[in-house]
Amino acid sequence: MYIAIGGHSEDVMSRHETRRQLLAKTGTLGLALMAGCMGNGSTGTDGTSDGMNRSETDGTGDVTDPGDAPRTRIDRFSDAAGTLMVRSDANELPEPNEPIDFDQKPFVTEGFGPDGEMVTYYNFDVQPTTPAPIYALFREGEETPLEDQRNIIDVIPGDEGYNDFWHVHEVTVPADYEANTATSVQDLQDGGYDITATDVLKNCPVVPDGSTASLRHGEGDTGLVEGWYEGQIVSYFLFEETPLTVTDGSVPVSPIYVTFNENPGEDGGGPPSGFVTEDGGDRTHNVVATVPNDDGYSPLWSINVYDNADFASVSDLESATAATLLESDVATVNCPVVSVGTP
């Protein structure tokens, strides 16, 4: 089943400005082996409001077989797309459009939950709090998305306003509409279809075709989902460890507490120095304030940095909040929790 997501960004600060601010605040340069940093979106290109009829023109056309359509080139690690995870000569991040294996460092991290649970989460870098639009099509009088119709988005990584988090919009099409006649936002505009914003959010990072992320909390599907972007096919993951809803037009956030090998402000400190880990292992003492099924859980985390001198004493939320806090609300990062074990 395909999903629809949509939203409107309000902050016009560029991703480059965001990265500079974060690095200045943490005293860092280069690749961060973590998921997280502030990002900002901009208003979507469709320019519509909730429930607005897009156009009075006839948007019907030929059906496009997704199997015959070209695929969009995706690069999550370009200067335009990345914030901390940016490709350089000093790292080995995948090349543009190269499939990404997210089941390896620096894309997966082990830490603690609020009660000392062992948690694992993916790292999808900084994302803004304003979701991006995605559109799901429904025939008139039907309550389920149109079978075989791919969802439609109008931004991809590197575009102004892109976000892994999507605000679902329902598009009502005529009863005789054929799946995949519309393959772009322009087609929806030309079709004059009614579009209504829901309150549903989905976490769907757009990735190169062939990418893998095999972990999910619960019984979630680990495969890629196909969508349309300007007449081309895009691929994205779907993380549904908990239902998400739009809150005052934004993606809800939850706190995470992290510490680095070198504290921010020190030479080479902050994200480039990497998270502190236990001797002989990969487990950090990063602590998420909530886990799936908790009230207030969100995979978009607001980063708080504590002094690495307190690393050994931190193992749950109580001890994390008692540690010396060096920076608060540094960035918001997309890190869906995919595993929760016993303390």
pLDDT tens digits, one per residue of 279-317: 999 999 999 999 999 999 999 999 999 999 999 999 999
* Shared-domain flag, residues 208 and 318: no
Instruction: Tell me whether residue 135 is in a domain.
Output: yes
* Shared-domain flag, residues 47 and 138: yes
pTM over 0.95? The answer is no
Are residues 241 and 251 in contact, defined by beta-carbon separation less than 8 angstroms?
no
pLDDT for the residue numbered 286: 98
* Shared-domain flag, residues 118 and 132: no
pLDDT for the residue numbered 1: 35
* Shared-domain flag, residues 241 and 309: no
Q: What is the 3-state secondary structure (H, E, C) of the chain?
A: CCCCCCCCCCCCCCHHHHHHHHHHHHCCCCCCCCCCCCCCCCCCCCCCCCCCECCCCCCCCCCCCHHHCCECCCCCCCCCCCCCCCCCCCCCCCCCCCCCECCCCCCEEEEECCCCCEEEEECCCECCCCCEEEEEEEECCCCCCCCCCCEEECCCCCCCCCCCEEEEEEEEECCCCCCCCCCCHHHHHHHCCEEEEEEEEEECCEECCCCECCCCCCCCCCCCEEEEECCEEEEECCEEEEEEECECCECCCEEEEECECCCCCCCCCCHHHCECECCCCCEEEEEECCCCCCCCCCCEEEEEEECHHHHHHCCCHHHHHHCCEEECCCCEEECCEEEECCC
pLDDT, tens digit (0-9, with 9 covering 90-100), for 92-151: 899 999 999 999 999 999 999 999 999 999 999 999 999 999 999 999 999 999 999 999
The residue among 245, 276, 296 that closes a domain is 245
Confidence of residue 342 (pLDDT cuts 50, 70, 90): confident
* Shared-domain flag, residues 308 and 326: yes
Confidence of residue 48 (pLDDT cuts 50, 70, 90): very low
Q: What domain range is 265 assigned to? A: 108-123+253-340
Give the dihedral sign, CA 129/262/23/110: negative
- φ/ψ of 113, rounded to 5, equals -90, 180
* Shared-domain flag, residues 234 and 292: no
pLDDT, tens digit (0-9, with 9 covering 90-100), for 218-258: 988 999 999 999 999 999 999 999 999 999 999 999 999 99
* Shared-domain flag, residues 235 and 280: no
Residue among 151, 157, 158, 118 nearest 137 (CA): 151
